A and B are shown apart, each in its own frame.
Chain A
């Protein structure tokens, strides 16, 4: 109950909030008492050398939706030296496409192990040269080296690793080029044969010769071709809808770029690994071919019901999410609506972007966090029983803080190693116009780092996150992992038309104990070599924590394939159980913490030390 004497103050505060010049997306609240002491993020973008990369995505005006979706980022050890390297997908411009020129190069930065990175894009052959969108890693040929899949506006790339030294694009030969507009991707062995399959989300079927009208009415392409008609999304929670033939698209009465709603969706693809370097498109047979023509973004393979089979989640922009339950016979059951993970608690469709998967409340079941458009909140879906999800965003304290933000990348990470998964969201509007109108938001927006308060609520730690995260940027993809192998989880962010952000965790390793695992699967036992799809259950202090080896996720990005656990004050692991992909649960002895451990399924060997 609100005390009446406080009411005028609160209303005055709201008045100030609505009429002030600086929107909340650019303000940095002071650190709350609950923020972990001494843990923050340091911006090492320049000192690391990765600031040499600048992302390119169309014009500053963002006349077309292709210019606004941005690109993903991967933290992944390409050469097997135990250090996470950084891959930054790049965009392009319509002018370049029309002139038939290559897109600006993507960048692969090799981690030198001393806080610096070296650009090895040319010698490794992963420049892409197409309008890049997403990225995911997986050892699809089980040769012990991680391969890379890059999605594009145009044909995708499957970069096969040649012993971690060079890469060869084998997408066409492998049958996974998919010349469309692809966004999220993820490797996962859905059919349990020990070979990684591949799911690729489709966004919009966009024809450059017949673009929807630009907000500036620039007289080119679609603007001249379109007869007068209008589409307005009618709401503020999604991008401006397009009506076929429309001459204008509006959002909050302002002319903006069109879409995605009203544009034709691009289909999703599931590629089954043929175990010979090629794949077969089984989307329709498997029942995951995007039958409603929705706009796919974030993708996640995860075992929602712990039946040992990977299920599939697709975050769809401006529509309901897809959740497909793996039936184990090569087919999936569309349980999107019955599961509760398609819509929010009010049954509303949202403009979903990225997806994070993690067991935030340590009940051993995997929960979902999905980012959304501005004037809407990001949704936390609690996994109730393996079949049903409940939107707990309100009780978790995530609704009001996220409303002014337009969220993209999201990741669960234990930034302070207290044993509870925290939550990262990187943000940025799609309309540059947001800076020129009173929408209570902004184009560039700070990231949000929420600390997990015991598995029940999350709290924005504001200034405690450090300038690396509180500086407003137009962010899109994000990836998390221990870049410097010090036990603290670092962050890489892809920023639209800008340099990336490399944020080093400071103090996390000292704040709590930790353990990081590398799993080596045994394909002879039907587990992919890099163990993607395997789950780890770690018991310490009477609490069971769950981690996984996962490809893709977030906003079209790839995070560390190693499994990291924060342990808080616990110095003893009472039980460590690995549920190998497609295999049995095996318990391994762990006799120390604050270290890296490699477990080999084939030999049963547990190796301490090192970083892999």
Chain B
């Protein structure tokens, strides 16, 4: 393991522990909404709605994970579907160095309450912990494998540890300068961090080894961000030859054509984008702008109205998320491919 990775792993453990401690007070709050009957039943059983949670958390605080696990297990015996008890038990398992058991508990909890923040949060921690452990084991087997460095980079990127991810990708490319996927993933990081010139160079280098949709699309986005829309159009078109069902590539194409004052071309591309992805409000917005440029006022008005409608629905979804209905999100642009 590289020194930086080792530091990162230690940092992760420390951070996870700190977050664990910070989370304890929140866990004292009701972890899920119950019916009044359920709440009354629970209260009658324990004397107070949160008494056992406090005792368990106190035990965790004092380093007595066994006691915390015992309390949570007792609760689960009373109510096998008690998500709070599962979370506390998972935390205790984690503290005892049993991440796999913690993972099992949390996935079970998630199947009961798919939007529980505590569950999702600790599942994230446990998953990262497990991933790190597995990757460390993999690296021990193949310490200089570029592919392992790439996988480590991907894992770190998913944890939003971009600086560490960059180091791993660089190590991967040092070992194998033709590792296309590492180049593309590193380029994606640069692009998302606004280092578009560098990202573009990497996309090009990847394209020289092997032309891919991801490379062409990423390069198109970067070139557009750098203001070279003519070159961006070429890349988006190339991306579409590799995947003609990509709504975001049509969106990128339409956007760049609009910048180049080719409103008719933009209308065609953006119409295709919204046909493929009817909830892409950004495409409707640009389509409205493109129609306006071609003097098609009514169509412009309709497209803009649709963009406004989708934006409002998205805001409403955000507010309803985790409480009412499942969120209906339009794709994130331009990073994600559809």
Contacts and interface: CB of A to CB of B under 8 A. Distances in A.
A19 B170 CA distance: 12
Contacts of B286: 346-347
A21 to B, nearest CB: 10
Contacts of A403: 193-194
B25 A229 contact: no
Contacts of B284: 347
Give the interface residue-count category, chain B: 35 or more
Interface in B118-140: 118, 120-121, 124
A574 B163 CA distance: 57
Contact of A241 (B195, B198, B281, B318): B318
A420 to B, nearest CB: 20
A275 interface: no
A7 B163 CA distance: 19
A395 interface: yes
Interface stretch (B28-36, B98-106, B144-152, B233-241): B28-36
Interface string A32-71: 0000000000000000000000000000000000000000
A262 interface: yes
B312 A292 contact: yes
B283 to A, nearest CB: 7
A233 to B, nearest CB: 8
Nearest to B30: A227
A234 B323 contact: no
A440 B195 CA distance: 12
Contacts of A440: 162-163, 193
A343 interface: yes
B311 interface: yes
Interface in B188-205: 189-190, 193-202, 204-205
B85 interface: no
Interface stretch (A184-192, A245-253, A517-525, A588-596): A245-253
B315 A2 contact: no
Contacts of B201: 2, 6-7, 10-11
B300 A338 contact: yes
B141 interface: no
A227 B121 contact: no
Interface string A320-359: 1000000000000000011010010111110000000000
Interface stretch (B63-71, B74-82, B210-218, B329-337): B329-337
A213 B26 contact: yes
Contacts of A11: 190, 198, 201-202
A253 B189 contact: no
Contacts of B200: 2
Contacts of A438: 161-164
Contact of B332 (A13, A227, A235): A235
Interface in B250-287: 255, 259, 281-286
Q: What 10 A-B pairs have minimum CB-CB distances, sorted nearest first?
A: A230-B117, A347-B282, A347-B285, A14-B198, A403-B194, A229-B322, A7-B201, A217-B26, A14-B195, A394-B227
Interface of A: 2, 6-7, 10-11, 13-15, 17-19, 213, 216-219, 223-231, 234-235, 241, 243-248, 252-253, 255, 261-262, 292, 319-320, 337-338, 340, 343, 345-349, 375, 377, 388, 394-395, 399-400, 403-404, 438, 440
8 contacts: A14-B193, A14-B195, A216-B22, A228-B117, A229-B117, A346-B286, A399-B225, A440-B193
